[in-house]
Chain A
Amino acid sequence: MSSLLTPEKLVDALSLGALYALIAVGYTMVYGIIRLINFAHGEVFMLGAFWALLIVGMDEPTGVNIFVALVPSMLMCAAVGMNVDWTTYLPLRRRLPRSDALSILSLGLLGIGAIFYKLTGDAAHVWYSDGAHTAIGWGVIGLLPIVIFALALGEKLEWLGRSLGRVASDRLSALITAIGMSLILQTLAQLIWGAEPRAFPEASLPAFLNESVFSIFGARVAGKELVIWVAAIVIMVLLQLLVTRTKIGTAMRACSMDQKTAALMGISVDSVIAFTFVIGSAMAAIAGVLYAVKVGGSISFRMGYYQGLIAFAAAVLGGIGNIKGAMLGGVLIGFVQGFSGGGNFSLPFVVMILVLLIMPRGILGEPQATRA
């Protein structure tokens, strides 16, 4: 079949694989440390693209280059990732009355705020006519009294929790919490940016992205493909160095082996976990922006679910919990997607299930506990 293997498809497959690998690493790092499928990770990837869109401006372009917008987008996503950990998973790991109060209140206010936003007018109109910075500023100022209020309420909420007959949470609870968080982030994005796909303005996309840079086997390689390849390789190398050569990387590996012992060795386990969320989310932000570049600047709130789930299949395929496995799985799934024409959503899952039939732990996976 000559049409199955064309150089153009190879180029496409390589950049898709690089993007999936970037997202999959975020899934796998969190799983490696706290044995939790962070369903919200796909939404962080989606938010990465939308934060960048917020900065380059949608209807009134601010003239900011998309790659400049990448940096604040990474910071925002890192903050979201840390927030996801603090509001949803930390209270399940440790029973801190204050984190309870904070998580419940911040989640509730997010929801009420979004509904109020929708009721008072078109959210996108408010964002872009008054200037995003004003809204963000008001948001920060508005959050301060809420935090103080929540801290004061902490003890009461702990009492409430006890009187409701709380028992120790297990991993299934964390997984369902993750699904809930994913639902919340996805719906928030839909409420704020609308259900229709949003496009990046022309001005934010540098011209070289769509120009042919060089050709391999007769297929022209556009600038965007080259950017994706280089970025993915550089980030993967940096991540590998971070995990193997630095102190925090050693702490991460120690936590993934045995959290109790790591804590006894003086490692602040909660900080290491939060750091893992931060790194994974920042990488998801990069993937989100690069994905927007790849598809020509059009993004939708659904991409966190679709692309996130495919990237997750990649992480499982490579053996979840293993960073090299996630890279390998990402590239494999990218090839499956690229060579099948791209639009097929079920093929990655077919491949994943077939691989799991032969290797139940994925290609490079570790043994899985019997108890869920």
Chain B
Amino acid sequence: MSFLAAQLRRLGSLDDRTQGLIALALAVVLPFVVGRTFLNTSLYIGTYAVLALGLNVVVGFTGLLDLGFVLFLATGAVVTSFLLSLTRTPDGTVQWAVSASGGIEGTQIFGFDGSILLIILIAGSVCALVGVLRGLPTLRVRGDYYAIVTLGIAEIAFETFLWDENSWINFTQFTGGAFGIKLPRADRPVLLGDPLRWSSPTVYFLILAGVVVAVLATHHLNRSRVGRALAAIRLDETAARACGVNVNRHKLIAFAVSGFIGGIGGALFVVWKEGTYSVKSFDVWQSILILCGVVLGGMGSIRGALVGITVLLAIDQALRQNYGGVTVPAEALNLIYGFLLIVVMRFRPQGLLPPVRRGRPLTESEHEALRTEPARLFRLGDKDVS
């Protein structure tokens, strides 16, 4: 036991790059050693890990509580399935049908090999735009109001997606309405000559690539000048403004990045679901599920978001199993999530793996200098204040 603890501590003391490479190596080996059920779970976790990393940019780095992140998941997924179903009919017109059983006669516009990569980029870009558009009106509202406005916008979008032909715009032709989206088998994306089914290893590596891109992007964002500006906004918005940080601009950058990653998550969601899902499932509890993952792992920490969502979804999957005829009712899962949120907030509000304080570690001589002569900014009574 102590040997294991020592090894874990050694692992924790490695730098970010080495830890990331070890995790990546394990993830690459994983599909060759586990069974199919486990593989499907890991696709689920991978998709939501991308979403959690996207949410982490706004909640963790910028310190704004986003309760409507499902908007990006929904938009990314709908855009992806729409693009996949675009078909050029023999008479030259472009048509689409997201829930047709047989599909439309003609050639699929995004039917070429590798088109899914292009579609993921488009979905991400659309969601980045949605993020900025959603962000513009929220720039003025602060604190708790931001959480409520994002929640409200997600609810408005949720209702709008179900608009049928009686409304101004018929959204059900894109979202499938209450019946959901079911892409025809012929419209499945192809990558490296392999039609994407969840049992195919290509899907696993596509989602893994999505996670890696999201990790690298958020890691570098956090380390950049923008990341420092976001940290300043998180700690004190007024002070950041006073220090010359362009608060609105940096918030919009955060919203765009968060939306982009969320859109990638939405596109991967379609791939994982093999094109069959319902927009009805994109309700507020999806936002809360992703938020739970980020909070459990530790807001503002990338490895935290990964570990948090993995632990949460692993618990979720474990509870859904049948143990010798005894199953936990599906409704009771929410009970466990609620309980988990309260307990984590009570005993470990910083999460399982909170972000490490950044900055260059002091050198030996600087340590020595600090020990011998503490830096003084000013004196209050007989106390040094620094």
Choose from B158, B337, B339, B350 the contact partner of A108 (Cβ within 8 Å).
Answer: B339
Q: Report the separation of the CA atoms of residues A195 and B332 in the bound assembly, to the nearest whole angstrom.
A: 12
Closest Cβ of chain B to A312, distance in Å, is 7
Interface of chain B: mostly helix, strand, loop or mixed: helix
Are B64 and A164 in contact (CB-based, < 8 A)? no
Q: Does chain A have a CB within 8 A of B346?
A: yes
Residue of A whose beta carbon sits closest to that of B59: A172
Q: Give Cα A290–Cα B285 distance, bound, in whole angstroms.
A: 28
Residues of B within 8 A of A160 (CB): 347
Task: Say how far A88's CB is from chain B's closest CB, in angstroms.
Answer: 6
Interface size class of A (residues with CB under 8 A): 35 or more
Q: Mark interface residues in B130-162 (1 if CB within 8 Å of A CB, else 0).
A: 000000010011111111110111011011100
Given contacts A114-B332, A118-B332, A176-B345, contact A349 B152 (CB under 8 A): yes
CA separation between A81 and B72, bound complex, in Å?
A: 35
B216-257 interface code vs A (CB 8 A; 1 in, 0 out): 000000000000000000011110000000000000000000
Q: Is the CB of A369 within 8 A of B143?
A: yes
* B20 interfacial contact with A, CB 8 Å: no
Which residues of chain B come closer than 8 Å to A91, judged between CB atoms? 346
Are the C-beta atoms of B238 and A370 separated by less than 8 Å?
A: yes
Residue of A with least CB distance to B348: A164
Interface residues of A in 76-123 (CB under 8 A from B): 88, 91-92, 100, 103-104, 107-108, 111, 114-115, 118-119
B63 A372 Cβ-Cβ under 8 A:
yes
The docked-state distance in angstroms from the alpha carbon of A43 to that of B320 is: 26
Chain A min CB distance to B271 (Å): 29
Q: Shortest distance in angstroms between A16's beta carbon and chain B's nearest beta carbon?
A: 18
Cα distance, A353 to B334, chains bound together (Å): 29
CB-based contact B348/A349 at 8 Å: no
Complex: how many Å from CA A166 to CA B348? 5
Would you give the 0/1 interface string for A331-372, flagging 1 where the beta carbon is closer than 8 Å to chain B?
000000000000011100110110011001100000011111
B114 contacts the other chain (Cβ, under 8 Å)? no
Residue in A88, A187, A372 whose CB lies within 8 Å of B334: A187
Stretch at the interface among B22-30, B101-109, B323-331: B323-331
Cα distance A36–B145 when bound, in Å? 11
Is A183's CB under 8 angstroms from B337's CB?
A: yes
Whether A167 contacts B350 by the Cβ 8 Å rule is: yes
Residues of A157-195 contacting chain B, CB below 8 A: 160-161, 164-167, 169-170, 172-177, 179-184, 186-188, 190-191, 195
B149 partner residues in chain A, CB cutoff 8 A: 352-353, 356
Bound together, the chains give a CA A118 to CA B342 distance in angstroms of: 23
A-B pairs with beta carbons under 8 Å apart, 16 shown:
A111-B336, A166-B347, A166-B348, A169-B346, A182-B338, A187-B335, A187-B338, A345-B155, A346-B160, A356-B140, A356-B141, A356-B149, A360-B145, A370-B143, A371-B235, A371-B236
Q: Which residues of B contact A (CB under 8 A)?
A: 63-65, 137, 140-149, 151-153, 155-156, 158-160, 235-238, 288, 291, 295, 299, 326, 328-329, 331-332, 334-343, 345-350
